[in-house]
Amino acid sequence: MRSILIISLLGCFFAAYEAKIFSKCELARKLKAEGMDGFHGYSLANWVCMAEHESNFNTRAFNGKNDNGSSDYGIFQINNKWWCKNNSSPSANACNTMCSRFLDDNISDDIACAKRVVKDPNGMSAWVAWVRHCRNKDLSRYLASCNL
């Protein structure tokens, strides 16, 4: 009986650390509710496209292999050199947030930081995936079936 309880508790613990993978439309609805449609001149489709190509909509996406030694965190792949702090590298920490907060299922803090990033002079060009896959492209397919 005790071993069943321990196994059950461990199962709950590990389940809590699984990534949330948003669907395209689920993310679009969340971003719209958080005021991202048209934020700083960027359509909702731009945000969804960027998230798809940066993280494949995965809240736990992590890239620790940037050429400059920095790392990227979460659904928007927010970089620790400029935007968040990870306690192992110097950071401007412009979003005033620990990078680990971008690796959970609550993306409200990710969205707040993305809003800060896009206010920078580079705008969405701060995201390489957006430049390569979304900028100046027809993005209508990103919201076509979402009934927003």
Q: How far apart are CA 148 and CA 136, in angstroms?
A: 22
| Annotated catalytic residue 72 | yes
| Annotated catalytic residue 54 | yes
In this structure, are residues 75 and 107 in contact, taking their beta carbons and an 8 Å threshold? yes
Catalytic one of 18, 26, 52, 54: 54
Catalytic one of 18, 67, 72, 120: 72
In this structure, are residues 60 and 103 in contact, taking their beta carbons and an 8 Å threshold? yes
Active site residues: 54, 72
